Structure 1
């Protein structure tokens, strides 16, 4: 991302790093104007900047990771699809009268192999976000998703989904059109598919809106993404009647990739560039492509029954607890 654009979307914890980088740029410009060799000083400052970058991004709180997951310039589903596929054809419509732009999908080739890809799609700016409803899909979106997945299953194409939503559309219209039923139908049907399913949390995975395309043989998650039963703001409003306690809720909810891996809810964490996926989107895309291909190869070696049993057991074990007797 260009430095000028990065400063526009600067997060609070990035400010010390940005100030140091600005200082380096100023010294470079002054040295060029006065024809002075300051290469040694620049090298020292750049080493300090790299060290500071690592310190900041390796000690982020859950609330700060949530800020990164929601970053306006974080790569979206379409960004990743266009970066990792050889061919891509977007398909539209749920065959019941709607085409939801908040959930997109289509057929593609990954390293020459035909696959179906789909995921939530947020906008780049306010106008685009309004069109995409901030990535909050309607019942029509989930019906479009299941139509594409059924197509994949029929023609023996693996399903790759990308999760990035604060939750399903919470409006009255969504409820009127059967939001809960549409998501529940997807959950049931995804368990029955014969083809490999790999889901990746690329940004914010929230509530049933994420689960509607989240039943997988393998569940991957980018390092700075979050996956949660409810947004921290909603959780704080419910528990403490105060949305300002969202930071406290973010810690309690165990929303980070490391928490979820420890709890056994996800299978693999995908490392991000030091400053986050938005800083080096092509590097993040290369990491995603490699992980998808390796997991796809492994799943393809299993029989259909082995995959379905793996999928079933994965979700049966979630939420398992032990009673401790004193």
Structure 2
């Protein structure tokens, strides 16, 4: 059914004049007549009665009028819902405790009235997340995706390099260090449970291990962050790696230590994936926010060579 014809019928029914409806819709009176005639042919019913003083709805027109108004209201709402700036910006932050979630939260705090929806596709790998962006399930996603694997139609902006830190308990031999070189971790066990083989962070840690001769253990069930903190607090040899913007909580008596990695500083390169040419104003504002507020890494950073520098 022609929405323009419906809008024209409602305008004539409410104004009582073809010319008044034409003026309201900014079309010619001839165009009004053609739209009404087309709608009446489609419905097989006369919707208007012409009189010497104008037009009024026929009996069929009176029955049809509230339905026509309802269709126009639903159409207007549908258009408004997807118009850039009116619908929520849906951003996949991967995990609510890590740096992308914190960055998006700070962005929201800068303008608390913005229409923003942070989601987590934590079961998806980078390729699946990029597909979700292309299909419009989400508007953007933070992923460490190899440059060669970024699909056509996806824009990838490297906006959030997160420096890595060593997290250890008080009994660990490096617990009092002001900083640690990655190469110095070669003889220490680093436990990062829960790494899925198909996930981009598996590729990141594999590349990191090869670059610095590290032994990263992903074996064993992952019982959650609390269990990992328990294990670190009780061990004199166990360590893990976390991002500088990650939020972990543990009891004060655990006395866990976060130690920066230096010479060089490994960074986890979160790319902001979005559809090429997406004009959502909040997406532009988010990019600008990340440009100006992202973590300041030192000059001697290390990142995988497969990420777009």
Common fold: TM-score over 0.5: no
More helix by share: 1
**More contact order relative to length (CA 8 Å, sep ≥ 6):** 2
- Give TM-score scaled by structure 2 length: 0.25
- Give TM-score scaled by structure 1 length: 0.24
More strand by share: 2
